[in-house]
Amino acid sequence: MMKIAVCIKQVPAYSDGMMDPKTGVMLRDGLESILNVYDLPAIETALKIKEEVGADVHIFTMGPSKASAVIREAYSMGADRGYLISDKSFSGADVLATSYALTQGMKLVEDYDLILCGKQTTDGDTAQVSGAIAKWLKIPHVNWVTKIVGIEKDSITVSQMMEEEIVTLKIPYPCLLSVEPSIFIPRLPSLKLKIGSKKKKIEVLSLVDMEDKEEGNYGLAGSPTKVERIFPVHRTEQQKIIEKDSREAAKYILEVIENINK
Ligand SMILES: Cc1cc2nc3c(=O)[nH]c(=O)nc-3n(C[C@H](O)[C@H](O)[C@H](O)COP(=O)(O)OP(=O)(O)OC[C@H]3O[C@@H](n4cnc5c(N)ncnc54)[C@H](O)[C@@H]3O)c2cc1C
């Protein structure tokens, strides 16, 4: 039977999060959280494949303990098993450290035939975690996937939406796909599965479980990205209409931007 892993993330429900002014890390405590909407089509894709050819669908999320809520949501859609990658030393991770922890976690459980990710998240929004996971695992990665054309025994054929054309690709397993929201309309959670999901086990994978136990490779310590300065956007209703020719307007805009950072 095919083994599929789906990576999903819990994100703040709104974009006005509080930031730690020193570290530039989002302070998520107290914020309402939801499942990243772009990850719902990834779960749906896995479930459609499961219905068509049979598959074991495993969910992976990295986050604090409350992130287990998104795994329960995936259970109520039909996912089989869920893994929460969680440890104090995993917090404050950038793309490199996030993708590394997810890769380490997945490697502990199975050699997956197919890994599915969403297009991007609504908080970090880098759209790079999926590519980075594929790089760690040394497997092919296809993004902007809009259609599953065929599921074969040792490969999958998909449509990829490029800027001006649609490309059809046949990719051997193991591989990673980042799916576009248009690929499938996510199903609503089933009441029966929702009730069952409350009792379903979620396995927690922490630093002690990982093959690489070096704390410095995870979280803030393992993140080369350093946020230099972070500040809330000052919202104002004020409007100024300035009329200038294009060169003068460009000069003026540059001055305004330079002054923002002073
Ligand atoms: C203000 C601020 C600035 C930041 N700047 C940077 C920066 O410049 N560079 C940088 O590398 N990081 C940065 N980060 C960290 C970043 O936001 C993320 O925490 C981390 O890099 C994950 O990437 P993403 O959210 O952009 O995911 P994306 O790459 O947008 O997500 C793509 C897909 O990967 C999967 N995925 C992503 N995260 C998880 C997860 N935790 N668990 C399971 N699946 C997941 C999902 O399928 C998702 O749809 C910043 C954070 C903040 C708060």
User: pLDDT, tens digit, for every residue of 223-244?
Assistant: 999 877 777 667 777 788 899 9
Q: How far is the CA of 152 from the centre of ligand 1 (A)?
A: 32
For ligand 1, atom 31, which residue shows the shortest CA distance?
A: 120
Q: Please tell me if the CB atom of residue 227 comes closer than 6 angstroms to any atom of ligand 1.
A: yes
3-state secondary structure at position 141 = strand
Residue 9 falls inside a structural domain: yes
Q: How far is the CA of 37 from the centre of ligand 1 (A)?
A: 14
Residue 126 falls inside a structural domain: yes
Instruction: Provide the CATH number for the domain around residue 213.
Output: 3.40.50.620
- Average pLDDT over the chain, rounded to an integer: 93
Residue 257 falls inside a structural domain: no
Q: What is each CA distance from 138 to 38, 68, 135, 175, 187, in whole angstroms?
A: 24, 28, 5, 9, 32
- Residue 158 · residue 147 · CB < 8 Å: yes
Q: Please tell me if the CB atom of residue 121 comes closer than 6 angstroms to any atom of ligand 1.
A: yes
User: pLDDT, tens digit, for every residue of 41-56?
Assistant: 999 999 999 999 999 9
Number of domains in the chain: 1
Q: Please tell me if the CB atom of residue 113 comes closer than 6 angstroms to any atom of ligand 1.
A: no
